[in-house]
Structure 1
Amino acid sequence: MCGIVGYVGNKEIIPILLEGLHSLEYRGYDSSGIAIHDGKVLSVLKSVGKLSKLEEILKNDAGSVNGKNGKNEHVYCGIGHTRWATHGEPSDINAHPHFDSDEKIAVVHNGIIRNYQEVKDKLVKSGIKFLTQTDTEVIVQLIAKYLKENNSVLSTICKTVSDLEGSYALAILFKEKPDKIYAVRKESPLVIGLGEKENYLASDSPTLSRFVDKIVRLGDNEIAEVTKEKVEFFNTKGEKINKTVQKVIKSKDFLDKRGFKHYLEKEINEQSEVISNLLNEFLPSSDSKVKFDHLKLKPEFLKNIDRILILACGTAYHSGLIAKYVFENLTSIPTEVQFASEYLNIKPLLSEKSLVIGISQSGETADTLTAIKRAVSCGATLVGITNRADSALADLSKERLLISKAGLEVSVAATKTFTAQITMLYLLAIYISEILGSTERNNLKPLKQELRLIPRLVDQTLTRAEYYQEQVLKYANKRDFVFIGRGINYPIALEAALKLKELSYIHASGYASGEMKHGPIAVLDPNVPVVSIIVPGETYDRVFQNSLEAKSRSAPMIAVTVDGDKKAESIFDTVLHVPPVTEVMSPFLTVIPMQFLAYYIAEHLGRDVDQPRNLAKSVTVE
């Protein structure tokens, strides 16, 4: 959620911090700030709003940071931060970095301190005054308190974090340590970048890939002491530890929009390529078996699975719902999909015979990681699906990891990572089915043939963008939408509603179409469009009937169906066609006009489609 960047070295520091913060913008934020040390003065500058506001302040106030905008060759180190508010409203004063009362320590923080009020109350009783509403100020004031008790910096940090409950990634500057940044993490990502006579830190490795070739991923309850010459690592007992140096995964220039107006539009249009790349690697032909042997799922285990549990949040949860239909149809294994956040409150009914599939685009989703740990503690086997090989989910999954390889997704709203996830889930279902022999191989071949055709069909669907734009803008003035679907397209109704809410701020709800008459139909009137995902197949007639019921309440009716569906064209006010496709493969196509619907309406309304308000790309707090 929040983004952290840091630098120690001899280069001009402000441009480095700003470049790092810009590359972290995709994570979502509402304010930003920097702190730098010029060898004598520890300075902080911060502002609510976009980074452009901070840049303008830096440009216009040459004395705001070390008197020379960070161009002084004697500036040793600095840290920067983009904040997504959790404690305290977005404001200049609540923005990071935060000082202690004596302005001798500056801290930036990503995470949530659950016992912050308890710690704050104790500090207030000791005479410390607080200026902000944040949990982060509690951390810096606690550090200052312990440092005054004649502790060393390292022992102070160890003592401080032992008092904290919750998650945190911290970067800390001390006035008395002008050449060092201290970093510490627990359940929130932080990566160290190793350079030549310079070192960096950031919340993610793609940010560091712009500067370095080698990284070290800080683990839970670990501390890094970063200077330009070296980085030393410690556990939170103050003991030195050794860390493994990794090569950074170089991303393509993920800030290049490739001629598209927005990252979201670019990423929608990359879906065909993403699916094609995954199929070419793991299912090169319809005659081949799925190449997932690296998962090391033993046939004995698979043949005795008692259940599959899928844990995810948001869009990843919707991909899991689609997978439930595929897994149960192909393998006959009972499959349950749970919101990871809700699973924390449910008794885990798992055993050593259970398979858990954890899905997270970033691999850092706090609720998902916590739920996975709870499930695995029951003895269940974990398979992780993420877009990031260098993530906490990747660490938890170890060799049982599926990388969706969609490339970095900059827009906050997930599009290409969603289709990458369902591609991997279809492949996993086929892989398990092949091992079980629960479906004859000859019966799987037509399914694999259909799957191999999906990239071409997705490409054909994407070419209809202008047609979708023309049709959906008729409804851009509506303030409520209802999306309905059945079976494997019910999750698409949920995903469509989520995308419209995320991007346009229009209220939207997704329902199983049969549930409309059990309450939701009461909200229908001429100002509430109903979008029906209605693909020929087993569910068609029932969705059609439910759509008629909505139409009889004077709701404007929009259909997502295949070319040539005359029946739908006869009753719906607007029809968004996709190429002919079987029902089981239809989610790959039906989601695309829904993504465009949300995108074009949001753009028409002047929304920030790449960074919608109040949202974050990596939800690293519970």
Structure 2
Amino acid sequence: MCGIVGAVSNRNIVPLLIEGLSRLEYRGYDSAGIAILNQSIERARAVGRVAELQLKAQGMHSQIGIGHTRWATHGGVTEQNAHPHVSPSQTDAHIAVVHNGIIENHDEQRDRLKTLGYQFYSQTDTEVIAHLVHYYYQQSRDLLVAVKQAIAELTGAYAISVIALDNPQQMVVARLGCPLLIGLGEGENFVASDVSAVLSATRKVIYLEDGDVATLQTDAVVIYDQQGEIVQRKVHMSDVSLASLELGPYSHFMQKEIHEQPRAISDTIEALIDDGAFRTELFGTQAAAILKEIDSVLILAAGTSYYAGLTAKYWLESIARIPTSVEIASEYRYRESVPNPKQLVVTISQSGETLDTMEALKHAQKLGHPHSLAICNVQESAIPRASSLVFYTRAGAEIGVASTKAFTTQLIALFVLSVTLAKERGLLADTQEQAYLTDLRQLTSSVQIALNLEPQIREWAARFGDKEHALFLGRGIHFPIAMEGALKLKEISYIHAEAYPAGELKHGPLALVDSNMPVVVIAPNDALLEKVKSNMQEVKARGGELFVFADADSHFNASEGVHVIRTPRHVGVLSPVLHVIPVQLLAYHAALLKGTDVDKPRNLAKSVTVE
């Protein structure tokens, strides 16, 4: 969950490292640091944001260096634990390393290295890598050989970049289980965790594959696969724009990304609308054959993506009539399950690098699941590459830690999958297919109308400013939306929030309800509306204050202790997409009142590449 950037160039790379780290700060913002080569290895490290590091790095100059922004795992948030780490000692450094991931056998390696005379100055697992590389480098004087020998001793996941004091022309990088790419320039080359870090210098990138090790020089990049053979990896032209990484007129990236949802949804459904039909080819060239074979669906995901999967279960079973189960990725791989070769394994990940989801997919494949579909927002990331089929959402770069537009575009992808499966299974009449296409075409304008409710939602948020707890209720397909609303509120405002199916209220949660516990209700006009109204009466009778997101057809009015905001119309089967917009805005404005760091909430990071 950390960010790596490095460069080998004919110009001063320190400004490039600082800019790259600022772009990567969403991946971790506990501390940041850089290491460069001159007559010695020079380091600048700082606890907190990259802006603090920038002050310390003033006047530094070099043509080769590495940088890192950290989300703490091993060891507290201190400058001593900040990357880069060096070896053999702080004052006599010959090797510098930055690392993303977790080394599972670091205790064992630490004990071994201590017996070899190495001292440890941090609590991190990364320092083990620095000392291992130094140990082998002393023997071979070949940085590539030393890195290969060192990583052979490691168990776990990593993306690393290494430089050596007496080898100022070369950088060596490696990856296993964590994202890493190489940026290709003129007279310079780069390494980074994310393309955003190198966009100001190049759009030409190579995505390294698991087990790859590479050497970077100003005029050459050489990649070795897991077997040690030189390989050619495909060069991609990134379509991410620098403008998408800037705030523009917005105060926060989360606010910007909430308001970008009409465009993100439109871009995601563009090919579908242009074709005027739900086609299996949208999921890949093998999709027609695979979708004919499957008899059920297993969805694996984490966090917000898991809630998208829970929503999709309703669509898949009601529209496609196909049995569907949804599992938290980090739990699935550690329990005994019954494999079904005819089951489609669907993984959902914004980044395509979510380690829990990646490992769950590998586990499913080892069990004997041959058919997999990745729903992802990042081209050529690890999970799509490991899957039989892929549907890329087109949300664009999402910088805010709390996912917004990535979630709504995941819902669109899952709805398209549901309808496509229904068509493949002979359950979709032509008139219904066209009706679904019409619903999708109209959704963008409906979402924009929901965004126009922001002034009313901002007024509601003022009532949450002094609250410590909140309850979210929904029924049926809107229960996962209530869960997503609770997650958004807790992760950026730090208000403790939980979600329940509204019918479960009387089975325990009602004990929590009083005038200090706001209760947010998702209540569109669907088959369960009357049931939801009854559940709301249970809250009102106990003195609870209700905040109800309804629509024009819900037919109930605001009253004492009951606040109602309506979207202008009910959008039918796509209602979950519409009703997540208000809960995103509620969380955002509540966080503003709380004075929290909206885009970088405490203890969290965007791309979760550790267990």
- The TM-score range, normalised by the shorter chain, is over 0.9
Contact kept? 1:290, 1:427, Cα under 8 Å: no
- The structure-2 alpha-carbon separation of the partners of 1:3 and 1:434, relative to structure 1 and needing over 3 Å to count, comes to same
Which residue is 1:416 aligned to? 405
AA of the residue aligned to 1:92: E
* Alignment pair present for 1:53 and 2:46: no
Matched, 1:386 2:373: no
CA distance in 2, matches of 1:121, 1:534: 58
1:275 match: 265
Tell me by how many angstroms 1:257 deviates. 1.9
Tell me the alpha carbon deviations over residues 42-97 of structure 1, each in whole angstroms, 9 at most, x when there is no partner.
Answer: 111101101111112233xxxxxxxx421xxxx23011100000101111000000
Choose which of 55, 60, 75 in structure 2 pairs with 1:69. Answer: 60
- Paired with 1:55 and 1:299, the residues of 2 have a C-alpha distance of 53
Match of 1:535 in 2: 524
Give the C-alpha shift of residue 549 in structure 1. Answer: 1.3
Three-state SS of the structure 2 residue aligned to 1:35 is strand
Equivalent positions of 1:282-321 (< 5 A) are 282-284=272-274, 288-290=277-279, 292-293=281-282, 295-297=284-286, 301-321=290-310
Cα 1:303–1:454 change in 2 (3 A) is same
Instruction: Say if 1:197 and 1:228, in contact at 8 Å, map to a contact too.
Output: yes
- Classify the secondary structure of the residue corresponding to 2:506: helix
Paired residue type of 2:249: G
Q: Does 1:453 align with 2:447?
A: no
Distance in 1 (CA, whole Å) between partners of 2:360 and 2:170 is 36
Question: What is the Cα deviation at residue 242 of structure 1?
Answer: 3.1
Alignment of 1:245-256 (within 5 A): 245-256=235-246
- Normalising by the residue count of structure 1, what TM-score does the alignment of the two structures yield? 0.94
Tell which deviates more after alignment, 264-273 or 139-148.
139-148
For 1:467, the aligned partner's letter is Q
In structure 2, the residue matched to 1:64 is none
Partner of 2:542: 553
Distance 1:58 1:310 in 2: 46
Do the aligned partners of 2:283 and 2:391 also contact (CA within 8 Å) in 1? no
Residues 276/245 of structure 1: CA separation in 2 closer, same or farther (3 Å cut) = closer
Cα deviation for residue 241 of structure 1 reads 3.1
For these two proteins, the number of residue pairs brought into alignment is: 607
The CA distance in 1 between the partners of 2:263 and 2:66, in whole Å, is 37
2:203 alignment partner in structure 1: 213
1:590 Cα deviation after fit: 1.1
For residue 246 of structure 1, give the secondary structure of its aligned residue in structure 2: strand
Runs (4+) of structure 1 exceeding 6 A deviation are: none
**SS of corresponding position for 1:81:** strand
Identity %: 40
Question: What is the aligned counterpart of 1:581 among 570, 593, 599?
Answer: 570
Say if 1:301 and 1:237 are closer, same or farther in 2 by CA, change over 3 A: closer
Q: Letter of the aligned partner of 2:243 in structure 1?
A: D
CA drift of 1:374 comes to: 1.5
Deviations 1:371-410 (A, max 9, x none): 1111123133111111111211221125x21110111011
Over 3 Å counting, the alpha-carbon distance change for 1:289 and 1:519 in structure 2 is same
SS of the residue 2:245 aligns to: coil
Equivalent residue number for residue 65 of structure 1: none
What is the CA distance between 1:293 and its match in structure 2? 4.6
Pairing 1:217-616 to 2, within 5 Å after superposition:
217-235=207-225, 238-284=228-274, 288-290=277-279, 292-293=281-282, 295-297=284-286, 301-377=290-366, 378-397=368-387, 400-563=389-552, 565-570=554-559, 573-616=562-605
Give me the whole-angstrom Cα distance separating, in 2, the residues matched to 1:298 and 1:372: 18
Q: Determine the C-alpha separation between the residues in 2 that align with 1:613 and 1:574.
A: 31
Return the offset for 1:297: 4.9
Residue of structure 2 equivalent to 1:43: 42
Shift of 1:572: 5.0
Contact preservation (8 Å) 2:213, 2:223: yes
Matches within 5 A, 1:114-263: 114-150=104-140, 152-235=142-225, 238-263=228-253
1:183–1:434 Cα change, 3 Å: same
What do you get for the CA RMSD once the two structures are aligned?
A: 1.8
Q: Distance in 2 between matches of 1:432 and 1:217?
A: 32
Structure 1: which 5+ runs fail to align?
60-67
Distance 1:579 1:535 in 2: 11
Mapped partners of 1:606, 1:557: distance in 2: 24
Distance 1:588 1:441 in 2: 24
